[in-house]
Every structure is written in C-alpha cells, then in structure tokens.
A and B are shown apart, each in its own frame.
Chain A
Amino acid sequence: MKNNAKRKLFNSTLIRSLALLIVLFAQVVLSGAYAQSPTLTIQEKNVTVREILSLIEKGSKVVFFYTDKDVDLNRRLNINLVNQPVSKVLDEVFKNSINTFKIDGNQVYITKKLKQVDEKVKPANKIIKISGIVTDDKSQSVIGAGIMINGTSKGTVTELDGKFSLEAPEGSQLKISYIGYETQLVSIEGKTSLTISLNKSQKNLDEVVVVGYGYQKKESVVGAISSVNASDIIQTPVANISNALNGRLPGLIAMQRQGEPGRDDAEIYIRGKSTLEGAAATPLILVDGVERSFTELDANEIETISILKDASATAVYGVRGANGVILVTTKRGTEGPAKIQFSSQIGFQNPTRKPIFRVGILTAELFQEAYYNDNKNADGTGKLFYSNNQLAAIHRSVLGTATPDEKLLYPNNNWYEELTQGNAPQQQYNLNVSGGNKAIKYFISGGYLSQGGAFKDLSSQYYVGQKNYNSNYTFDRYNFRSNVDINVTKDFTATLNLAGRLEKINSPNVTTEALYSYLYGMSSLFSPIAYPGIGFAELPNSENPAAQLTQNGFRNQTKSNIESSIILRYNLDFITKGLKARANVSFDSQFSYSSVYWEGYDTYKRDWSNTDQAVYLQARKGSALSFTGETYWNTNKQYEEFGLDYNRTFGKHNITGLVLYNQQEYRNGANTPYVYQGLVGRTTYNYDKKYLAEVNIGYNGSENFAPGKRFGFFPAISLGWVVSEEKFMKKLDFISFLKIRGSYGEVGNDKLYIGGVEQRFLYYNDYAQSGGYRFGSNYLWWDGIMEGRIGNNDVTWERAKKSNIGVEANFFNSKLGLVMDLFNEDRSNILISQANTVPKTGGAQLPAANKGVTNNHGFEVELTHRNNIGKFNYFVKGNYTFARNKIISIDEPTSITPWQRQEGRPIGQPIMYECIGLFKSVDDIASSPSQLAIGVPIVGDRKYLDYNVDGVINTLDRFAQGYSNIPEISYGFSFGGNYKGFDFSVLLQGVDHVSLTFWKGQNNNELGRWNPFLTAEQNANATYPTLHSNSGSGGAINNSVTSFGVFGNVYNGAYLKLKNVEIGYSLPKSWIKSIGISAVRIYTNGVNLAILKDYLIFFDPESGSGAGTFYPQMRVINCGFNITF
C-alpha cells in the first residue's frame, strides 16, 4: 500500500532520475527530465555546450551520460532551432565536434568520436548479450558505474544492485569506470557473465572535500584542509575516536594522556597551541555541522573527519575558529537495495607501560640504605632500619622458608600484580542498514561497546559478605543513529539526523588518581594486603588499595545523549539559476547522572609486641553499603542555521556563493546559557579551473562581551593557481597535477580562560551578595555584600592573523602525491589576568585584559604513493608536522630574572634547575654553592647548576629549558596493501621536541645509585642519586625517591610508536554467494602495539606531566569480522 501511495505522488520519471543521483558524484552529470514536451526550441548565441545540455535537460526528459574529460563542454556555438526533437538538437550541437552521442530511451551517452580507422580495422563480430556485477574493493556493489564497450560509444550504467547487462561484439573489451576508482578494461573472451571488482583510484582530483558549511571539489579548494576516511579510523580498535587520529592527519596533534574507560579523550590541538591557556586552545568540533563532541561516536557511523587549518578554511567560523576546526560527517544512505552490514570484534587491553615493582630482599636493602641516609649520625655511624635478624627473616620470606608470622611481617607482595589484570576485555558490535530509493535514503546504525577494567576482581578473596555490585572500571556504550534524506519534491529535500547514545561508566569509590597513588606508593615489605581470616591490613601512611578497590563501594555515571537535526534544502532556480536555500534546526540534549555508593571496610593491625600469640587490633570499623550522593545535570543545545547557496558557471567562470545566518544557545545546568550568533559569507571564483579565488567572511558575536564589542568581522582571502592546467605544463607529463595556493585572514577565539577557569561576561561590574559575619552572643549570621569583579568593558575575543602557503601536486599519473603547507599565525588579544603585574596594594584584582600576544609558525608535509604490482595494490604515506610557538607578551613583570621570563619563549616551557651530577664527598658539598634553599644535601645527592653564578643555589637558578609537553613535531608513517582477498596496513606514529616533568622517577636505574656503603671511587659511575626514605622534610627533598623529576629533570617526551596494524581477509565471493551474503571480511588489528623508541620507563610517553597517578594507556589487540548482506 505504501509503495502504491508513493507511486502516485512521484511519477516514475522522477524516481528513475533520483535513482541515479549517485552518478552526480561520479562526475557523470545527471539531471531529471520533468517536462513532457517532446520537442525543443533553443535559440541562443555564443553559449557553451554545457549550457545547451542543461537547457535540453530542462526541456526534455533525457539524461546525459558523459565524462568531463571526454566532452568539450566549454566549446561555444550559436544555435537556432525551433520545435525540434532532442536528436536533431544534439546533431546540431555535436556536428563538427570531437564528440558524438547515442540515444537509448531516455539516456543519452556522449563520447568521443572514434577514429575511423579503428572501426574499419575491427572485424564485424557476433553480438552477444553480457551481464555482470560491479563491486568495489570492499566487495560492495557499485551503483551507477559506467560500462562502455571499449572503442565505441556504446555502453550502459550499473543498476541499483550493481548489475548491468548489454550487448557487445564478441571479443571486445568493456571499459568500466566509476568515481574514485581506476578505470578497468575487461575482455569478454566468450564469457557472458562477469564479476568486476574495482580498485581505488590514486587520482583523487574529483573528490569532494568537506568545508565549513558545505562541500567543495578538491581541485578547487584553496584552504588548508586534511581529512581522514572511515576506513582508516575504523581499523584502530579504540573505544574513543579521538585516540584514532594520531599520526593520520598532518597538522593534528593528539595526545592520549591517560586511559580510564569512558574518560580517555585525547588532548587535541591543530597546528599546536597558539594561545596561552590549554582549555582555550582546543579546536572547534562540529559533527554534521553542529557543535558536538565526537569522541564517543561509533566509528562505524563516521564517514570522514576533516580538519580545517588556515584562515581561508576557518574564517567562516569567525569568533570561534582560531584554533582550527574539526568537521565530522556521519554516513548517509545511498540509493540502492538495502545493504546490511554487521561487524563484531573482541579484543584485549593491556597497559602500554606498567611500573616496575620491586620485590624481594632488594626492597629491604634499598629501604635500609635510604633510612640510613636520612638518619645517620654526623660522624656517619649508622642507624639502620632492619637488624640482621630481620633481614634474615625477610630473606626467608622471599625464599618461602619463613614461618607464617614472618610471612605476615615481611610479606614480599607484588601489589601491582596482585591487584591488576592483564587482558582486560573489550568488545564492540555494530549493525547498520543503508540504502534507499528515489524518495528516501537512509542509514540506520546500532552499536554496542564494552570496555573492561584494569583491575582484578578481588571480591572472592577479600570481600566480607556477599558482594552484589561491580567496583571495577567498566565502560558500556549503546548507540544508534538514523540519517534519513527525503526528496519531498524535485526541488525540496528534507533530512532528519537522529542519534542517541547511552554511556555507562563504573568505577570504584575512590578517585583514580588516589587509587594509583596508593598502589604505586606500596612497598612489597611493609604489610600484607590482608591478614588471613582476619581482614584487610591497615597500612601506615596510606589507604589499602585492595580494600579501596574491593569494599569501598562504587561510583556510577550514566550519560544519555540525543542529537537531532532537521535540514531542509530548497532549490530556488525559479528565482535565479543556481540558487538554493537551506535551513538546519538542531536540538541536542545530554543528561548525566552520577551516583556514589560507599561501603566501609574493617582494617586490622597485628600487635607485634605480643610475641606469645597473634593479637589483631581493629584499626577501623566498616559499615554497610550505603548511597552517599548523586549529582546530575542536563545540558541542551539549540542550533539554527539558514542559508542561501549559489553555484553557477558562466562559460569558464565558475562562481559560488554562500550567505548563512546561524545562532546557538547552549544550556549547561543552571549556568547562564552560552549563546552566539553570526553571519557567514563565502564567494569563490575560478576561471577555467585554473585560477582560483575565494573570500570567506565570518561576522559574528559572542555573549561574552559588552554591547558594542560583541560583533567581529573576520575576513579571509585566498588565491590558487592550478599550474598543471596551463598549456606550458602539459609537456611535463610526469606532473599530473600542480596547485599553488595561499591565504591570509583573521579568525577569533571567544573561549577565555585564566588559570584554567573559564571567564564569562567580563564586562560586567558587580557587587556580590556574599560573605557576612556572626555577631552577638548567639553568633547570629548576618549577610554581607562585597565588591565583586571589576568589569572591563573592553574585553573582546582573541584574534588570530593566519597566513598559509600551500602546494598540492601529483606526479607520475597520480602515483605520487604531495601536499605541503607553510603557516604563520600571530595571535593577539589573548585574555590575561593582571595578577602578576599589578601590585596588591590597590586591594583589588584588576580586570583581565586582552593583552597577551603569541606567534605560532611551522609547516606540514604529506607524501602519498599508491601503485600496484600486478594484483598487489599498495600504498605508502607519510606526514610530518612542525609547529613552534612563542610568547610575545604575557602577564609578567619586566623586573623578572631574564632567564626565567616567559616572554620570548615557547608556551609552557618548564623553568627548572639543572642537575649537573652527584655530590662526591663532604668536601664537594662544602666547596659547592650552598643548596640549603632546596634542602640539606648529603653525599650522593644531586648537585645543581649555579646558573647565575652567585654562589648559592636558590630559586633564581631555575631557568627555562626543554620544550613544553605538547610536541612541536608530530609525524605519522603508514603503508599497506591488498592482494586478492588479503589486505594489511601499518601505522607508525611519533612526536619530538616535547618535554615531560614527572613527580615520580622515570629512571629505572636505582640499581646504579650512589651507594653510601661504597667508596667514592666505587661510586664514580653512579647513574642515580643516593636514596632517601622521607620525601617531605629537610634535605631529603633534594632527591627523594618519590619526588624526583621536580628539581632538575625534564624528561625527553619524544617517542615512536607502532600505533596500529591491521590484517584482513575477504572471503571469496564464490564461497559465500550461495548463502546470500555479499561480502565477509575477517580481520585482526591492534592499537598502541609497541613503543619503538622513547625515554621513559614507567609511563606511556603520551602521558602528561605530573604525579603519574593516572589510569594507564592501553594496548588493544583485537579481532573481528564484518558481514555484508
């Protein structure tokens, strides 16, 4: 019934023409013929062939098939025909041209005229009927591929299911072409049924690139844009998409600082950091045109991820585009029968790095030494922590010959191994259906992901009672998406995008940071995890991490997301040709709910003073599981956009235009809504696809600024020259394509942060109802009022002046591709507090002002090589990004020590002491500059550089050194190939020019320490300072085991990782065809597989600086299959 109804509404011609919409992408121009007139009247002077074809399409119901390069569309002619049939008109058009045509029903094929000699030489063969199917490299059927009989103008296109049939002379060849794929010649050789599998083309010139608020042909793009496709993203088995991008996009720097399930977003920068605050340096991220997070998207739903880098590409985002833009587009349906895909994968996660946990007698010896160092008398006579008897007992405990009591006293536990598990599971499933007809196209997807935690379930071992909850780290994600496009009329399309996601994050009721600090702080000797039959051990100076993990309750967070958009497009050709209108109304909502359940646990201490019997003292009393709190918040966003697109060609002049209005209102809990609005304008012009020009304009405003300061004008202009289109280049046929482009423009940033705190409404000057005082014998509270913030009416957005020069080139028939970009950015108006420059005697914190200035510059190179050796197709790709920033102006008094100034140095460069060796003797300490400002040194401690040569080591000897913790250099190298059904790919990724500072030692060479029991000569080659047992007081701070990198050590954070490997096999069609399956691929892949080169021991080199108490990054090894029905 439904189908019948539709047929009434949409006549068959309409359906037929829409079915071929896909051909638009194939650069085989298509158009619907809606008018019913059998004859045409065309009277035009000096018109191009292209225009005439377009007139014919409008006036008749024919559809043209041709490829751009075969038809001289720009040829001009005069035509004067009245009431003539199409064939007559076409005769007139193509007479004396290089082209000819053939009419087949409503379809008209235009091809090059064949040379007469060819036709004559060919013997007249028997005509046979041939049918076949065309599939792409993933064995999916291809709709709309052109099938031509080679050397003739005869041919057809594939139908919805990829099938075709035609009649051809026996022994001839078929030429199969399709956008993005290599054109193939197939000999018929007596076969009547063919299966043709297309290979991806290296020539990407006809590709379409996602740009701000639209698409452009890749060849005419003049902005700096890079993108990565679904297939590359999906082969990295990470739960969080932001961790799949590293090394794949030149200009993108993504560092995964930690790996906690559900909370492991990478830190992402485009072309490094140009502004002073990290939170203000993050790019704008849009999913399907709306500002949304992309990190928890199911990779199966993503079509492409593009990054916009220069002003030309980002100016349309005006006040928010300065840090670059990430555009994510999701998959959409294409016309054809329903295609069902199911994928399933299961993998295991292991930390990429784990701490080396010292066990055995060595622990005792190290502690003994540290204790001796911290407690020895002035004459060097020792105070030792362990007696010889104790050491003997420790020995026995390690050897396993200890008495039960000795085992409890000196347990020799490897806490890390006891608590953590290798091979935490991860699994992901996705089912999607896509397809469509003339009226409706759809992509519907549902997925589930689950990620297990890094810890063992110790409940059966230690939990007292019956445990009915999960206290491990786990992450579950359920997602669906439905992208539907409806052709309401021939001029009117409506799109509905709807996505839902449910994320559940579970963790023990202890902060991750605290848990890891307890765990990493454990000694193998001091205490057992629990006393058998008694309960958890109470530990000195620390919570018991096993108890915290097992019986301390749990935290649960549930996030539900709905993202929805309705997009309407209307063809306004009736006003002027090439004009289209569009509207996008989006509504997103997120609800997050966190609950905390707490359960206390009992702990016990053994009273070792009682030697007669085992006496346990209860140190703390547990309590039953109880609900202790919940937090929830709702965010929602309304986004509206209305725009007009214009796209028209006048001869060799191609013009496009865009005017668009948008506004957004984002509500986050009870906060005042975040709003912005703006106008976007773009006009592009190209002459003969040779000379390109583009102007982009953002004119928009942010609520953050005072009236009159809200709106800003952000223009960008860019020019391009496709050198390879010039005649003089045609001789150089090893250059298939060469484009030079340049852009200059200004973009803004309205994210204002000071000290990591977001600043809003800085223009606002207020007195706050806050504070107060208690008066009277009853201490009654009286409310107060105090002066609040002093407003700054002049506060406005940051401004980035960006310039970019780029070259895009393809060589050797597009087998080798090169993209190179050089960029410079001057960022000014960065919001800075004046806390460091305005004295406190005024009693007020003066308002923040736009006084910060930075520069950021660098370059990116991307090289691609694709080729095939017989049936072995392969590719090799490499990209390299260099971005260096410098602070020109910051809130810094001019009187500050020159070597500690931030101005003139990179953002975030550490200011540290430099360790120049170890103190060799008491005399060495006495004759060296005093280090008392740091602590009282002993022999074997670190000796620091007296940078200012004043004879004293103090804070003035710290100097700027090393790099920031955001790499200046980031690179990726990948290669892969396929042969018959087998395919593989490998990605190597690395960074350089990066420094990390850790609170925990990153050297594993305490075995090479300065040993107080050896002579100075024996210690001459010590590679590690002498040990301390106390990190806090007095001299031990010099180089305590637990507070290492603080003074003096900046670690080199450079690394090279084997980031990703995938090996796959597609089952031969013949095996699966009989059971109704069109393709099956099985694969295994992995991420973070190996750290090939770095300078750290305990932590993954992507980690941020700090205490090191974070959930480690994970290596995932994964296998799965993908079935297409």
Chain B
Amino acid sequence: MNTIKNIKWLIPFIFATLITSCSEDFLDRAPTSALDQQKVFSDFQLTRKYQIDLYQTLRGGFSEFRYGSYSTDWGYDLISNMDDHCMGSKNDNSTFEMITGGWMNRGENANWGCALEVAQNWRNAYQAIRAINIFLENYKKTPLATPEEQAEMKSMVGEAYFLRAHHYFELVKRWGGVPLVYKVVQPNDDQRPIRQNITDCIDSIVSDCNKGVDLMETGVASSDWLGRATKGAAMGLKARALLWGASPYWSSHGSGMKYEDAAKAALDVINLNVYHLMPNYRDVFLVPFNSEVIYCQNSAPKNMWDLYMWVPNFLGGLTYGNFQPTQEFVDCYEIKDPVTGQYVNFDTNNPDHIANMYNKNRRDPRFNQSMIYNGANWQGITCEYYTGGNLGYQTVGSLANNFYTGYCFTKYWDENVLVGTVNGVPRKGNPQLNWIFLRYADILLMYAEAQNQVGGPNSSADGSDKTALWAINQVRERAGISDLPSSISQADFDVKLRNERSIELCIEDQRFFDVRRWGIGEELARDLHKVMCTKNLDGTFTYDFSQTVGPLRKHYDNLDQYILYPINIEEVQRNPNLTQNPGWQDILRN
C-alpha cells in the first residue's frame, strides 16, 4: 500500500523530467552527411566528379529524336519533321502541330509534344550552362597537390569552356541570339535577361572555344578518358560557329562573320593532323572513338530509338519506322554513268537510272550503307516492300507505321550485333553507341564550303595546298564515288557541296540547320514523295514515285516562321523581356 501511495509524488517528477528533456534537437532530422558547394570545391576528387557530371549535359541526336509516347506519333524534335529529307511520321503530326499552333495545346509540362521539345532544349542548355558557370566560378578554390592534378585541372577548365560554347551554339543555332548568362544566377538576382544579338553570341562562343584551345591538349591523357573534349573539338566547334554565322541567312541579318575566318578555322583543324577519314563510311558510325570522330556523346542514351525509329517489323512487329527518308532525299544519291564511269546526278526520267537505282554497283555506295529499300538484304532477310511482301504496307498490326516512304534508315544500326530478344525475335543493334557531334568529314566539307565562297573551288586558305576541291574530293573518294572535276564553277561547286553534305551527314542533325542557314526554306515547302512498289506477275517490280507523303507540307506558307524555333510560350510569359522570333509572335497574342 505504501508503494502505491507514494506513486503520486513520482508523477509530477516524471512530468518535469520528460518535459525538460525534450529539446529542439528532436526536430533536427535533415540529412547532414550530404555535400555542399564548399565541400565539393575543397577536394580535388570531388571537384573532378563535379566536372565529370558536366558531360552528362550533352544531349545528342539520339536524345533529340526522342519518341514521346508509346502509341502516338508526336513528340520528337522539330528536326525530325521539318526538313525535306526525313519524315518524322506517317502523318507528319509534329509539323502539323507547329503550323497550326496545336503544339501550344500541350504546353511545356505535357508528357510529349513539340512545346515540350522546344522547352526542353532551352531548359537543358541553360541548366548545363549554370552547372558550368558554377565550376568556372569555383574551381580555383580547389587545392591541387601534384603536378598531375594541376595538369588535369587545366584541361578540365578548358573542357568546361568548350562545353559552355557547345551549349550556347546549340541554343544559337535553334533560336538565333539568346540571353548570355555568364555568372551563376542567385535567387535574388534579376531573373529576366534580354536576348543578345547574333554577333555577340557567336563572338562569345568563339571566345570560349579559344580558351578551350589554349587549355586543352590534342588528345586525352589515356584511353580511359576517351570522350573528354580536346583541343581539336574546341577548334572544330569554332569553325562550325564561324561558318554558321557567315552563312547567307545570318550574314544578311548582320552577323558580320566572314567565310575567311571560317575557312581558316576549319583548315586549322585539318592541319592538326590528328583526325583521318575512316576507310569505310559505315564504320564511322559503328566503331567507337574512331579516327574521324572529333567529339561525341559517349554511350548516348538511345531512348528506344532502335525500336521506334528504325525498320518496322524486325523486332517482332514492335518497331515503328517512324523516321524515314523521302524520295527527294533518295534522289540526291548520285549514280555511276555506265559509259564515263563518272558519278552523275540521279535522273528519274532516265530509264537506265531507274532500272539501276537499287544497283549496288551503280549507286553511290553510301545509299546501301545508310538505308534499306525493296530488295535490300537486312539481317539475312530480303526486304519485300510491297503490298503482300514481308515488310509491306499493311502487313502487321496498325500500331506500326510501316514503310510509309518505301525506305528506312539503317545507319547507326549494326545488323550483326545481337542484344537480346523482343517477343522471341532477336533484337540487333549496338548496345552502346556514341552520338557524334563533329567528325572530320564535316570539317572537310565546312572548309570546302567556306573556302569556295572565299575564292572558288581551287582556292585555299593561308596559301596551303589544300583547296576547297581537295577537301570535298577527300570525302567523295572515301565514299567510293568519282572526284569532282577541277573545272567546276564556283556556283556548281556550291550546289554539289550542299548535296554532298546532305548525303554524307544524313540523320546527323545537320540538314535541318543547313537549309535554314543557307536560306533555302522554300525547298522545305514542296510536296514530298514516297515510292510505291508493286510486284508484277513475272516477279519484276513497278515503282511509282508520284505519290506524296506528309500531305500537310503545303501549309508551309509562312517561311519566316520556320527559320528559327519559337521560344516556348510559358518562358515568354515568365520573362516578358524575351522578344519572340519572327513568325511566332502571333501565338502570344492575348
């Protein structure tokens, strides 16, 4: 009984103890072991990790040609639809959305759609630039213990400058002059920058490239670091930016860039003597880090590119073939004249050309190396592209787009590498593939283009022995077609050069921007065609080139609109200081 009675005196004591023992520390739960900026930049290893992650901001074509949603065919970048050589989908929906304003119905927050793509390109670039700016503002705080660390840091800084130039060029080639952000924006800073003019933008890209050239070596420290940027990458990007600025559209819009500078910059890369053309065109895309690659995105995430973009039906009916060459593009491949042995322009009115159009021995070999067509052999199967054939118009479930142009790209796809099965059907392709941003053949073509503008096909920059004609013929010879004659006029050379770029660099994210800088938008506005193939009773084929594909191309009536991307509507709402690009202002009307 005594014990129980005495409990009562214990109670207030317990209360007092419990209440006083509870302190605010109880609420301290946030993780404390994590890193902050100061910790990162006070340790070389951590700083290096931070710098390594800057590479993750690279966003190559495999990411750009993204497929948004399983059962619909909107969603990839504008590029996939809005040039004349590739069809992004059977119904051309992306183009349709952009023209009609329908893209705004799905804003930047949608799962898929053009607006999302436009917004993501913009957002990703500025996120990358912020990350780089943080590095450039802080790397000096990192203690460097050894000469090796000092050397590596020097290169890392150069790479950061180069990467910043890369991202700005990705912005500029899409939007023209953009806001230049060269410091880390803090929450209380002004968040509403204005757009800079094109000259300032190119100048600052060149300036960053020059810093990269000064700080980086021509090669990486060891093969373990393949994929890091090098001196050549910065030089090549500089040449590309200068050529782009000197091109007709931008020079007529006051860029002030000169072809001389572009040619000189390209020749500097050639004279580095680090890069060489691969003997076989197809190997350029299948052999990683080959001698032709100047810079690339390592093991680029393909986002099911192989499933959605390539040959329909090969993966147990799951592929979509949503990315196909037009007949206009196919016609760009030259054909060997049986008499002269020279490669000449393909002529659809020439019965001999038509009869031999798929003849490997007559057609530019790159045709067979880049795509499949009726009668082509692929993964051991003879492609039958006709109604009733194994890859015909309506052979499988309606999910697939099938062969709506009659061709399908196979570039980048190694038919011999088995990476698994889909529904029991072998899935072939490259498990890891680099997206090549810049390669030596492009440098040669850049040089040829710029130098031809400076002094014609037989001129050369810096009085070197490397003429514009020499440069283009390097590329043609590797492809296996005949040289251009030295007698070619400056104007004809330019036509041939543009054709050469479109073939050599097909689906490398070039044509879309080339036609815009050249100011030849009207070529986009024409109706595009496919080939229809009928198998005759005697086993021969009849080809019909008259049918159009992508019926909505006729809507290209406001050419101004298609030179530059729009800034997505939400960003302009957030920052009214941004002036909208020509042709797109209407969409902002309230």
Contacts and interface: CB of A to CB of B under 8 A. Distances in A.
A476 B59 CA distance: 51
A823 to B, nearest CB: 31
Interface in B30-87: 30-31, 34-37, 39-40, 46, 49-50, 52-53, 55-56, 71-73
Contact of B130 (A760, A764, A844): A844
Interface in A555-606: 570, 572, 574-575, 581, 583
Q: Which of B24, B27, B91, B587 has the most chain A CB within a 10 Å cutoff?
A: B27
A774 interface: yes
A541 B423 contact: no
Given A644-B15, A675-B26, A840 B228 contact: no
Contacts of A661: 18-19, 22
B31 A672 contact: yes
Interface in A273-288: none
Contacts of A620: 423
B571 interface: yes
Interface stretch (A79-87, A234-242, A691-699, A893-901): A893-901
Interface string A816-852: 0000000000000000000011111111101100000
B36 A767 contact: yes
Contact of B181 (A842, A898, A950, A1032): A842
Given A541-B399, A841-B181, A764 B31 contact: yes
Nearest to A948: B590
B573 interface: yes
Contacts of A897: 590
Contacts of A783: 49, 52
Interface string A782-800: 1111111010100000000
Nearest to B397: A540
A603 to B, nearest CB: 11
Given A761-B30, A772-B53, A775-B227, 6 more contacts: A581-B11, A707-B28, A842-B185, A895-B572, A956-B589, A1034-B91
A950 B588 CA distance: 12
A790 B189 CA distance: 14
Contacts of A782: 49, 52
Interface in A522-541: 540-541
B26 A1034 contact: no
Interface in A144-159: none
B225 A843 contact: no
A776 B52 contact: no
A843 B102 contact: no
Contact of B29 (A761, A765, A840): A761
Interface string B258-273: 0000000000000000
**Cβ-closest 9 pairs across A and B:** A843-B130, A784-B53, A842-B185, A932-B100, A839-B575, A761-B30, A767-B35, A893-B573, A776-B224
Interface residues of A, number: 89
Contacts, number: 250
A785 B299 contact: no
A227 B185 CA distance: 54
Interface residues of B, number: 91
Interface in B68-124: 71-73, 91, 93, 96, 99-102, 104-105, 107, 119, 122-123
A489 B578 CA distance: 78
A948 B22 CA distance: 61
A581 B37 contact: no
A602 to B, nearest CB: 12
Given A570-B11, A785-B53, A955 B131 contact: no
Chain B's interface: helix, strand, loop or mixed, by majority? helix
Contacts of A572: 8, 11-12
A119 interface: no
Interface in A924-951: 930, 932-935, 948, 950
A489 B34 contact: no
A674 B179 CA distance: 43
B134 interface: yes
B126 interface: yes
Given A786-B53, A838-B191, A933-B105, A777 B289 contact: yes
B379 to A, nearest CB: 21
A710 B72 CA distance: 48
Nearest to A954: B101
A663 B52 contact: no
10 contacts: A640-B18, A661-B18, A775-B52, A775-B226, A777-B289, A844-B130, A893-B574, A896-B573, A932-B96, A932-B100
B356 interface: no
Instruction: Point out which of B96, B99, B105, B570 has the most chain A C-beta atoms below 10 A from its C-beta.
Output: B105
Given A673-B29, A701-B27, A642 B590 contact: no
Nearest to A1033: B91
A677 B228 contact: no
A661 B20 CA distance: 10
B36 A839 contact: no
A416 interface: no
Contacts of A836: 570, 573-574
A1034 B89 CA distance: 12
B71 A843 contact: no
A620 B421 CA distance: 13
B4 interface: yes
A783 B5 CA distance: 66
A677 B27 contact: yes
